[in-house]
Amino acid sequence: MVDFNKLRSQSQRAVPVDPLEIFRRLPKPQGINDLYTSQAEVLEAWFKRKDERDTVVKLHTGGGKTLVGLLMAQSTLNELKEPVLYLAPTTQLVKQTLEKARSLGITAVPYVRGQPLADDFVNGKAMMVASYKALFNGFSKFGVRGGRMHVKAGAVILDDAHVAFSVVRDSFTLEVTAKRDREQYDALCTLFRSAFKNMDRLGTFDDTVSGLSNVVIEVPYWAWHEQIDTARGLLRGDGKDTPYAWPLLRDNLHLCHGLISSEAFTVTPVLPLVNSFPTFADAPRRIYMSATIADDSEIVRTFDAEPKHVNSALTSRSLAGISERMILIPSLMKFEFDTTKVTKELLKKVAGDNLGAVVLVPSNFAAKAWEDVAEFAEGSDKVDPMVEELQARATSGPVVFASRYDGIDLPGDSCRLLVMEGLPAGTSDYEQLRAATLYGGATISRMLAQRIEQGIGRGARGAGDHCVVLLAGSDLAGWIAKDANFKLLTSATRAQLDMGSTVSKEVKDVNDLANTIAMSIRRDAGWVEYHAATLAENVKQEAPDPKRFDVAAAERKAFNNWADGYYNKAIAKLDQVVSSKEALDDQTRGWLLQLAGRIASNWGQNERSDELQRSAFGANRNLMRPRVMPPYRALPMPGTQGAAIAYQLRGYRMRRGLLQRFEQVASRLNANASANQFEQALADLGELIGLSAERHDDGGEGPDVLWLLPNKIALILEAKSRKLDKNPLTKEEHGQLLVAQQWFEKNYDGYTSLRVVVHPTNKATPAAAAHESYALTLDRLTAMVADARTLLTELCESQLTDIELEGQCQQLIERSSIRADRLSGYLAAFVEG
């Protein structure tokens, strides 16, 4: 018998290092004849820059990132003869990568839990494929700094780096859950109860711990630092089943957030402590494989990557890997219909044709609304089997998934109709806190853009695949319609949304909508050609902008300095970016100033810390309330209502997006909304009708909501929307309004004001003495909302240019009862009853 291995060894030349040459010599599995142009371009560019420590490779979903990563790994193995580690976010993707390597004849070994690292990996003869959590954990077999001998790697390949940020943070996060560890949870929460009392936040604390409120609150960092030794003892527990994160956190609690929700007490570092792992931190090559997301600054923030290298990511102008997507936003269409009802019918129709129909929603709660037509796959134990059933065509659904914007692949007929409902939300307590704190700022807008793109990408996985995507929910539609948000998406997604917008304008009614969707599914030649030609014309390479990493790089550098004990350098770095000429949004400025205050507190500079926290809170009132409150900054007097409304409209690429925003606000102006939701919606309503508005209520001093009207007039609003109709306004409740007026007169010299209570009725007890105050009853509030809707609808549907819009807006206001000087028409004097 011929020994082919002997013949091959006799003829072997030196192993190639060029990844293109490596591919040329590999046996090709069926279906792979050659590389995509995009893959070849990226590999050629990488080989010229292979000695840079950090390299980002961005290819479209379905563009063959895994093959590119494997070839880079093999090239490094051949050249350096040192271990190469290939990381993937999930065990499913680990298996897929190993199968891909095997099909190409590339030697790769798996990470096996409970067994030593494979000799071929340690000796640099084969790459190892593992999950992120295999490397990043306190008992890592690859070694932790200061512990066991670590594995020195020639390269670490981080596949799907754009979805790994939360996975990596989880490795450094310790949760004490109320359900499993009630005694430990209660002890930790009680330890910090007095800190919230001192901040006038005791009500919020008690409601959160008891489960009456579903928010996430952060332990004030000064209290965290004061009680850190006691907290360490409580977190250590009895030593049984030590969590993988504990060895990484036990000496670094001063670098951590302490978070409280009704479900858990969470400890997580300000930034992941990735430098604790020499295998990763000291690797001469770190290669981040990423989809073509618009913002990759989180790679700098999470992995401590070099900004200049991340900015010069390896990309290709090729359209290889871009799937065909018909992206429609039903709520922005010009005809009126019940979008939820129609969407459910469309899902049933597609699934009835034995084609996959899938719904993505932001939470388990949101999923319940779809259970009348779709099966809810709740939790990983149900999600993974359901995805496999869809892929194997054992089911067509409809299926609804909650918070699964990445990690599930539904190619081909496994998903032909994808419905995304609602803005994506964070899944962990840290993500929810960060989103609430930074909401409205550029940081969270970029995160939302990334999540939306990831979600859209679940249903079509590469060239030749196609899917119809319906974006549902007023918050999601309104967000995308806003021009500033639209610009955060990649050019491919923008092009597909523009196509969808153009198509939507041609849709006349519900039947036309169903027929339009069918044209994509049936592969109508006109649609396919229109999509391909328009995409080719409009997809452009994103221009690199080194300044987009300034904030992420400053935050990471400051954190590293703090961790190394260089407190002054850390604060100086943050001060440098906050004071730079580059304009930061207030949310981000506040976040960075609070980090500086946290570092100063840990350093023992309490006065400096208090000063920084006051500045942080002044910029962003969603942050921690400082121990000494900053002085109040009065709202500017508004200009004309017409100009203010027109300015808002100009911010929307699709004007009907403002109507979606309005409906989202209006939906919370009822007795069933929480007090927090109602007050925020009341402030938002004021802005939408062209006033200056804010929520205030600083420790009981100011009003719940303040509306400033032109000509130095104000409405001082207290919200009592959750009271029963039969209960009149009391003396105590009216007293709150009088205190709010005193605060107003102190801060707004020269203004006149009306005292207003949003109340179910205009009845007050005799003791309340509310004769000179007014009620905005829920009925009259509903009338105000209806009148505002009429005005905004006419403006949103007009075809006027931006220049003409302001004049038209002012003309409509002149005839409307929401004109500022007519708002008193919605108010009723209180009567005794």
SS3 content of the chain, % helix, strand, coil (to 5): 50, 15, 35
Give the length of the chain: 833
Q: What is the pLDDT of residue 279?
A: 94
Q: Which CATH code of 2.60.40.1120, 3.30.470.20, 3.40.47.10, 3.40.50.300 fits the domain covering 4-169+277-311?
A: 3.40.50.300
Element (H, E) at 74: helix 65-80
pLDDT tens for 424-436 read 877 788 888 888 8
CATH superfamily of 546-619: Tetratricopeptide repeat domain (1.25.40.10)
**Per-residue pLDDT, 167:** 87
List b or e across 254-269, with b for residues whose CB sees 16 or more CB atoms inside 10 angstroms: bbbbbbbbbebbbbbb
Domain ranges of the chain: 4-169+277-311, 173-271, 324-537, 546-619, 641-832
Q: Please compute the mean of the pLDDT values over residues 270-290 and round it to a whole number.
A: 93
Lowest mean pLDDT among 60-64, 458-462, 606-610: 60-64
Residue type, 284: P
Range 211-233 burial, b when 16+ CB lie within 10 A, else e? eebeebbbbbbbbbbebeeebee
Average pLDDT, the chain: 85
Output the pTM of the full model.
0.80
Residue 104 · residue 26 · CB < 8 Å: yes
Mean pLDDT for the stretch of residues 148-171:
87
Give the range with max mean pLDDT: 74-88, 759-773, 802-816: 74-88
At residue 590, the pLDDT reads: 92
Q: Give me the pLDDT at residue 227, please.
A: 92
Highest mean pLDDT among 501-505, 579-583, 755-759: 755-759
- A 10 A CB-CB count for 314 gives 19
User: Please, are residues 172 and 269 in contact by the beta-carbon 8 Å criterion?
Assistant: yes
What is the per-residue pLDDT across 354-400, written as a single tens digit (0 to 9) for each? 888 888 888 888 888 888 888 888 877 788 888 888 888 888 878 88
CA dist 672 and 400 (Å) reads 26
Fold of 641-832: Restriction Endonuclease (3.40.91)
Peptide bond into 27 cis (omega under 30): no
785-789 mean pLDDT: 92
In this predicted structure, the answer to whether residue 621 has a pLDDT above a threshold of 90 is: no
Share of the chain above pLDDT 70, in %: 93
pLDDT digits (tens, 9 = 90+) for 659-695: 888 988 888 888 887 777 888 889 999 999 999 998 8
Q: With beta carbons less than 8 A apart as the criterion, state whether 332 and 504 touch.
A: yes
Task: Report whether 127 contacts 104 (CB < 8 A).
Answer: no
H helices present in 353-482, as ranges: 364-368, 380-391, 429-438, 442-456, 474-481
> Are 4-169+277-311 and 324-537 in the same CATH fold?
yes
Superfamily in which the 324-537 domain is placed by CATH:
P-loop containing nucleotide triphosphate hydrolases (3.40.50.300)
Q: Give ∠ CA 263-266-272 in degrees, rounded to 5.
A: 140
- pLDDT of the residue at 61: 63
Res. 547: pLDDT tops 70: yes
pLDDT of residue 12: 56
Q: Give the C-alpha distances (Å, rounded to integers) separating 433 from 10, 429, 439, 487, 821.
A: 62, 6, 10, 25, 39
Exposure class string for 785-807: b at 16+ Cβ within 10 A, else e? bebbeebbeebbeeeeeeeebbe
Q: Tell me what pLDDT residue 600 has.
A: 94
With cut-offs at 50, 70 and 90, classify the pLDDT of residue 165: confident
pLDDT in tens, 213-227: 788 899 999 999 999
Vertex 168, ends 164 and 171: CA angle to 5°?
150
